[in-house]
């Protein structure tokens, strides 16, 4: 695509609904959805050389080194057609600064999803992912190991980084980085903060409405959702 690639960042703690909302938002505005966590898990599952390098970081809930992440993100931006909804990157100010310095990226807005800690923990302990199609489903309780894939594609299982110790480490890492990262984002692009502890489509409505209000770079197709119809000319 012609450079620079317009980028919408989706930020928030693990379990705030970033993956779900980023995918829906990308569909709504005609951008590609790039989840750095999903790209890394794909490499781990295929046992590629990159997968072998990052497997331990993912299993422990630790951050993958910045140089690896930046190369991966740059390749995804180069491959995008219209723009990218970036989910899972940046995680730190260093990553944000590195992203902003890429000639191939133009950060047009950042969305921040929030949810109370008990909601995050509940979602993460019950989250199951289909190894085949990557769809996620919530188990009825944390001790239920597997559920049917919502796409009928087999069995959804607990992600290795959703083990209780890894969850605690990932949420702590997010907390350590969040204040500085959000401050950086606020200075770099319009920031749209949305309460993620509500029904999925209500959250999506607010995200799209907030983006339309704050940047002219996002043009959602008409009739995507209620709020867009209310806000768009």
- State which of residues 12, 15, 61, 83 lies at the interface with ligand AMP (CB under 6 A): 61
The distance of closest approach from Cβ of residue 149 to ligand AMP in the complex, given in angstroms and rounded to an integer, is 18
The distance of closest approach from Cβ of residue 167 to ligand AMP in the complex, given in angstroms and rounded to an integer, is 10
At which residue do the structure tokens 């302990």 appear?
A: 125
Give the integer Cα–Cα distance in Å for 79 and 73.
10
- State which of residues 12, 14, 31, 156 lies at the interface with ligand AMP (CB under 6 A): 14
Per rule CB under 6 A, is residue 161 in the interface with ligand AMP?
yes
Residue 176 dihedral angles phi and psi, to the nearest 5°: -60, -35
The distance of closest approach from Cβ of residue 69 to ligand AMP in the complex, given in angstroms and rounded to an integer, is 5
Residues 121-160 that bind ligand AMP (CB under 6 A): none
At which residue do the structure tokens 């990932």 appear?
A: 170
DSSP SS3 for 208: helix
- State which of residues 58, 77, 167, 192 lies at the interface with ligand AMP (CB under 6 A): 58
Give the integer Cα–Cα distance in Å for 182 and 197.
19
Q: Which is nearer to ligand AMP, 166 or 194 (CB)?
A: 166
Q: What is the pairing mode between strands 84-87 and 5-11? A: parallel
Are 204 and 10 within 8 A, CB to CB?
A: no
Span from 1-9, 54-62, 98-106, 112-120 in contact with ligand AMP (CB under 6 A)? 54-62
> Pseudo-torsion of CA 174, 177, 179, 183, nearest 10°?
-120
Are 80 and 32 within 8 A, CB to CB?
A: yes
Q: Which is nearer to ligand AMP, 5 or 86 (CB)?
A: 86
- State which of residues 34, 64, 84, 107 lies at the interface with ligand AMP (CB under 6 A): 64
Judging by beta carbons within 10 Å of its beta carbon (0-12, 13-18, 19+), is residue 222 exposed, middle or buried? exposed
Per rule CB under 6 A, is residue 36 in the interface with ligand AMP?
yes
Q: Which is nearer to ligand AMP, 29 or 34 (CB)?
A: 34
Per rule CB under 6 A, is residue 170 in the interface with ligand AMP?
yes
Give the integer Cα–Cα distance in Å for 97 and 231.
32
Q: Which is nearer to ligand AMP, 105 or 228 (CB)?
A: 105
Binding interface with ligand AMP (CB under 6 A): 14, 36-37, 40, 57-58, 61-64, 69, 88-89, 91, 95, 161, 170
């Amino acid at each position: 695509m012609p450079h620079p690639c317009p980028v919408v960042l989706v930020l928030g703690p693990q379990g705030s609904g970033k993956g779900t909302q980023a995918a829906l938002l990308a569909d709504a505005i005609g951008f590609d959805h790039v989840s750095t966590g999903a790209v890394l898990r794909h490499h781990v599952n295929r046992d590629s050389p990159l997968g072998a390098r990052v497997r331990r970081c993912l299993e422990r809930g630790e951050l993958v080194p910045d140089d690896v992440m930046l190369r991966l993100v740059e390749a995804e931006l180069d491959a995008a057609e219209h723009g990218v909804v970036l989910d899972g990157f940046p995680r730190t100010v260093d990553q944000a600064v590195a992203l902003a310095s890429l000639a191939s990226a133009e950060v047009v807005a950042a969305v921040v999803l929030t949810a109370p800690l008990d909601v995050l923990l509940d979602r993460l302990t019950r989250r199951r992912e289909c190894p085949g199609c990557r769809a996620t489903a919530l188990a009825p309780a944390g001790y239920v190991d597997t559920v049917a894939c919502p796409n009928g594609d087999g069995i959804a299982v607990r992600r290795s980084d959703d083990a209780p110790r890894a969850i605690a480490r990932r949420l702590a890492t997010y907390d350590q980085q969040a204040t500085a990262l959000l401050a950086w984002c606020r200075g770099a692009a319009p920031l749209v903060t949305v309460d993620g502890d509500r029904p999925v489509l209500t959250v999506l409505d607010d995200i799209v409405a907030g983006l339309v209000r704050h940047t002219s770079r996002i043009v959602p197709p008409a009739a995507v959702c209620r709020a867009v119809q209310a806000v768009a000319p």
